[in-house]
Amino acid sequence: MTEDVLIPFTFPEPHAKLGGLMALSDDGLDLEYQTRSFFSVRERSRKIPFHQIQDLRVRLVRPGWFRRKLVVIEISTRSLQPLRGMPGTLREKLWLWTQQENLDRARCLEQVTMLKLIE
């Protein structure tokens, strides 16, 4: 992953201790992430091609009164296939959490992705 836009992320509960990196490539989003199975943590990678992405939204949220703000990246796909087996998914949607200092990179990712979807 040597792309310019590189965003560290975690998954929502109950997978919050797992996370990874998301990068923008020429033909889609590259995700490297961890999964847990019984006693081990495994690293996996997944590519979500632009033609499979229906929508990508970035929101700034505060999960509790006294907690720091977090950035939520919501990715909607055109089918269930690109997200099959990933933590943090519900049907065709994937939610990723990142820290507030990554907001500018997340907004850049959102804008570039939306431009690619228009093409």
User: Is the domain defined by 6-118 classed in CATH 2.30.29?
Assistant: yes
pLDDT digits (tens, 9 = 90+) for 44-96: 999 999 999 999 999 998 766 777 789 999 999 999 999 988 888 888 999 99
Position 105, amino acid:
R
The pTM for the full model equals 0.84
Which residue ranges make up each domain of the chain? 6-118
Encode pLDDT of 90-113 as tens digits.
Answer: 889 999 999 999 999 999 999 999
* 78-to-52, 65, 82, 100, 116 alpha-carbon distances in Å: 5, 35, 9, 28, 15
Helices in the chain by DSSP H: which ranges? 103-118
Give the gyration radius of the chain's Cα atoms.
14
Mean pLDDT within 13-22: 80
